[in-house]
A and B are shown apart, each in its own frame.
Chain A
């Protein structure tokens, strides 16, 4: 998290230095979104291509400025626009009321449909969201489609699964981890080309539009963008661009006709209405609490696994033969020396061809296996901190090695390990936010969704922090009490 924030801060600094140059038009987008929106040119990865790239270039050209791209994570585009990191943002950004309220938004330049994609074998069984009661339906988080699925959770009893990208919903659909994907037709078409065995129902579950965003106070620039887009609709520039990227269809001329005839912005159809901030708070508080429970359950279970495994590893390293000691040391070094995020990806996606673990289990295993390495080091040093003389005394008194470990060494080691273990548990509580990468919606992820939907981090951020503290503070208190009771003499 902080790494990303840091990277954004660095970019921001670089960009601010350059913004003195009035001739550039800084435009923000997410190149991870890929074709046909924005992607690195396969022939020259230093260049970007895509229809959003061409539209940004068109706008820059008409303004007489040089386009300059700024990479921003898709879910952070709104916040970044508000901060003024870039002049205009476009990257398949959807026209939703919350966005129009908090930012200056252009006229729509493309109309899309939210469509349902299922495995070919389920074509007849799952024709609409109503057919998917009790099933897992995936989409990209922070989108209209996600709101649509949250609504369907209530009305149709489906389970909405949120991803951070638009590739893995479809690959997990192929693997059977989810039973359907709802995303816009542009993304669905792309996924259909990449994956076999999928079918997309043509009916629109909802209709939405892509727009260009600017900082809320920058309505002058927004008005320029509107004029340029309308001109491009009229003279066929947009049509040529969309045809080039194979996304032109009969919905677009109809949209342009409505816009150019002065009918104004067509309203988004079929999506749930967005309640006010207070209503949103009421809607999100229960899901925030649920997410906190998931964080807590996941952390406790992963810690239990880490403690159990850590004890075995530490015992093996202290008492084992040289071969098992070497193997266990290797395990510890590999788990400590590689990012836990990488380990989570490998367990969930990498092993998918061998074993298809449910997301929660994969998350639990990933965190547990990683933390076991840290716990084992704590226990090993705690075991070794029990004075040798006590072990000699035990040996002379006739205790076996197992008895010595169980009755004398382990109980003292546990008291020594308590403080660092508490530290690790609090760290685990926070690291558990990484599992949102595996579609587990825990506290941080739910907060992010909350923040994206209401367009502000203030209230969700404070609530989230309060919930984390509510979980970690009592634990620290309990550990301190136990430590005081068991305080070991300093040797």
Chain B
């Protein structure tokens, strides 16, 4: 059985700067892979390459149909929540309006934002907008779901809800890849962590192991910074 994601030796340059220097990354169905790294390590760029939003200069990406949830959600501002979710099924896949709405309502309900179906994006809180964005991505049934910094706009209680929801999605047979700098969240919910530094994978494995006893200096620096940041808060 082919993996939903199998990327090998991915390279990407911007001008003379090498953003990705031969990154290998795979994800199996049922996995929630966390991509960690300092700002500028190339983790968001890697997600965009997988999604096909950035051209790569080398390597190979074999990916199933992708869904993506952006850090700033990027909901379609002129459409209410449920219309954001149904637009692609109706217009791209050709699902009937009634079926699309029914399925969208189901997704929104599952994610706990069913009651906000008719709200416009500008009326949603950050957490609500993120769930609607997840529903929108899931509505076309992608085997691979990418999430860019999904915990960035959430308070701690909401973070837990999100983690549970993501785990459920993984258990239902999807592969999930998320970028994150939140080591507590990764430790608690991710099934595997991959640490990027300067466009290279420097360390990976079970989150508990990697984050408790990091081997690579970049991982240690990352954890220190994260703790300092939380300390200040």
Residue pair B91, A389 in contact (C-beta under 8 Å): no
Residue pair B91, A407 in contact (C-beta under 8 Å): yes
Residue pair B91, A489 in contact (C-beta under 8 Å): no
A-facing mask of B47-85, CB < 8 A → 1, else 0?
010011100000000000011101010111110000000
Q: Which of B70, B75, B136 has the most CB of A within 10 A?
A: B70
Q: Which residues of A contact B78 (CB under 8 A)?
A: 408, 411-412, 415, 486
Q: Does B100 contact A (CB under 8 A)?
A: no
Q: Taking the nearest CB of chain A, how far is it from the CB of B179, in angstroms?
A: 15
Q: Taking the nearest CB of chain A, how far is it from the CB of B140, in angstroms?
A: 6
Q: Does B196 contact A (CB under 8 A)?
A: no
From residue 103 to 129 of chain B, which have CB atoms closer than 8 A to chain A? Answer: 121-122
The CA of A186 and the CA of B190, in the complex, are separated in Å by: 98
Counting chain B residues whose Cβ lies within 8 A of the other chain, the interface size class is: 20 to 34
Residue pair B92, A397 in contact (C-beta under 8 Å): yes
Which residue of A is nearest B76, CB measured? A408
The CA of A410 and the CA of B51, in the complex, are separated in Å by: 24
Q: Does B29 contact A (CB under 8 A)?
A: no
Residue pair A393, B77 in contact (C-beta under 8 Å): no
The CA of A411 and the CA of B75, in the complex, are separated in Å by: 14
A389-B74, A489-B122 are known contacts. Are A399 and B88 too (CB-CB below 8 A)? Answer: yes
Q: Does A333 contact B (CB under 8 A)?
A: no
Q: Which residues of B contact A415 (CB under 8 A)?
A: 78
Residue pair B53, A392 in contact (C-beta under 8 Å): yes
From residue 115 to 158 of chain A, which have CB atoms closer than 8 A to chain B? Answer: none
From residue 396 to 435 of chain A, which have CB atoms closer than 8 A to chain B? Answer: 396-399, 403, 407-408, 411-412, 415
Residue pair B91, A390 in contact (C-beta under 8 Å): no
A393-B74, A408-B76, A412-B78 are known contacts. Are A398 and B53 too (CB-CB below 8 A)? Answer: no
The CA of A125 and the CA of B70, in the complex, are separated in Å by: 79
Q: Does A387 contact B (CB under 8 A)?
A: yes
The CA of A274 and the CA of B93, in the complex, are separated in Å by: 75
Which residue of B is nearest A393, CB measured? B74
The CA of A399 and the CA of B84, in the complex, are separated in Å by: 13
Q: Taking the nearest CB of chain B, how far is it from the CB of A400, in angstroms?
A: 8
Q: Which residues of B contact A407 (CB under 8 A)?
A: 87, 91
Q: Which residues of A contact B76 (CB under 8 A)?
A: 390, 393-394, 408, 412
Which residue of A is nearest B70, CB measured? A389
Q: Which residues of A contact B93 (CB under 8 A)?
A: 398
Residue pair A396, B67 in contact (C-beta under 8 Å): yes
Residue pair A403, B53 in contact (C-beta under 8 Å): no
Residue pair B70, A397 in contact (C-beta under 8 Å): no
A403-B91, A488-B77, A489-B122 are known contacts. Are A395 and B53 too (CB-CB below 8 A)? Answer: yes
The CA of A364 and the CA of B169, in the complex, are separated in Å by: 60
The CA of A264 and the CA of B133, in the complex, are separated in Å by: 93
Residue pair A397, B77 in contact (C-beta under 8 Å): no
Other-chain residue from B51, B72, B77, B121 in contact with A396 (beta carbon distance below 8 A): B51
Q: Which residues of A contact B67 (CB under 8 A)?
A: 396-397
Residue pair B74, A387 in contact (C-beta under 8 Å): yes
Q: Which residues of B contact A488 (CB under 8 A)?
A: 77, 122
Q: Which residues of B contact A408 (CB under 8 A)?
A: 76, 78, 87
The CA of A407 and the CA of B87, in the complex, are separated in Å by: 9
Residue pair A398, B51 in contact (C-beta under 8 Å): no
Residue pair B70, A403 in contact (C-beta under 8 Å): no
Q: Which residues of A contact B133 (CB under 8 A)?
A: 393
The CA of A409 and the CA of B220, in the complex, are separated in Å by: 44
Residue pair A412, B88 in contact (C-beta under 8 Å): no
Q: Which residues of A contact B72 (CB under 8 A)?
A: 389
Q: Which residues of B contact A393 (CB under 8 A)?
A: 68, 70, 74-76, 133, 136
Other-chain residue from A392, A398, A489 in contact with B77 (beta carbon distance below 8 A): A489
Q: Which residues of B contact A387 (CB under 8 A)?
A: 74
Which residue of B is nearest A406, CB measured? B91
A396-B67, A489-B122 are known contacts. Are A403 and B77 too (CB-CB below 8 A)? Answer: no
Other-chain residue from A395, A397, A403, A489 in contact with B136 (beta carbon distance below 8 A): A397
Which residue of B is nearest A488, CB measured? B77
The CA of A310 and the CA of B130, in the complex, are separated in Å by: 36
Q: Which residues of A contact B121 (CB under 8 A)?
A: 489
Q: Which residues of A contact B122 (CB under 8 A)?
A: 488-489
A393-B68, A396-B51, A396-B68 are known contacts. Are A412 and B77 too (CB-CB below 8 A)? Answer: yes
A403-B91, A489-B122 are known contacts. Are A396 and B74 too (CB-CB below 8 A)? Answer: no
The CA of A488 and the CA of B77, in the complex, are separated in Å by: 8
Which residue of A is nearest B54, CB measured? A392
A-facing mask of B24-50, CB < 8 A → 1, else 0?
000000000000000000000000100
Q: Taking the nearest CB of chain B, how far is it from the CB of A482, in angstroms?
A: 13
Q: Taking the nearest CB of chain B, how far is it from the CB of A316, in angstroms?
A: 23
Which residue of A is nearest B90, CB measured? A407
Q: Which residues of B contact A489 (CB under 8 A)?
A: 77, 121-122
Residue pair A397, B88 in contact (C-beta under 8 Å): yes
Residue pair B91, A396 in contact (C-beta under 8 Å): no
The CA of A396 and the CA of B146, in the complex, are separated in Å by: 11
The CA of A397 and the CA of B139, in the complex, are separated in Å by: 9
The CA of A387 and the CA of B74, in the complex, are separated in Å by: 8
Which residue of B is nearest A491, CB measured? B77
Residue pair A398, B68 in contact (C-beta under 8 Å): no
Residue pair A396, B53 in contact (C-beta under 8 Å): yes
The CA of A393 and the CA of B88, in the complex, are separated in Å by: 10
Q: Which of B75, B91, B122, B137 has the most CB of A within 10 A?
A: B91
Residue pair A403, B74 in contact (C-beta under 8 Å): no
Residue pair B140, A397 in contact (C-beta under 8 Å): yes
A-B contacts besides A392-B51, A393-B70, A395-B52, 14 pairs, CB < 8 Å: A389-B70, A392-B74, A396-B52, A396-B53, A396-B67, A396-B68, A397-B67, A397-B137, A399-B92, A403-B92, A407-B91, A408-B78, A486-B78, A489-B121
14 contacts between A and B (CB under 8 A): A387-B74, A389-B70, A389-B74, A390-B76, A392-B53, A393-B70, A396-B52, A396-B67, A396-B137, A397-B87, A399-B91, A399-B92, A407-B87, A489-B121
What are the nearest 10 A-B pairs in CB distance?
A389-B74, A489-B122, A397-B88, A398-B92, A393-B74, A390-B74, A396-B68, A412-B78, A411-B78, A392-B53
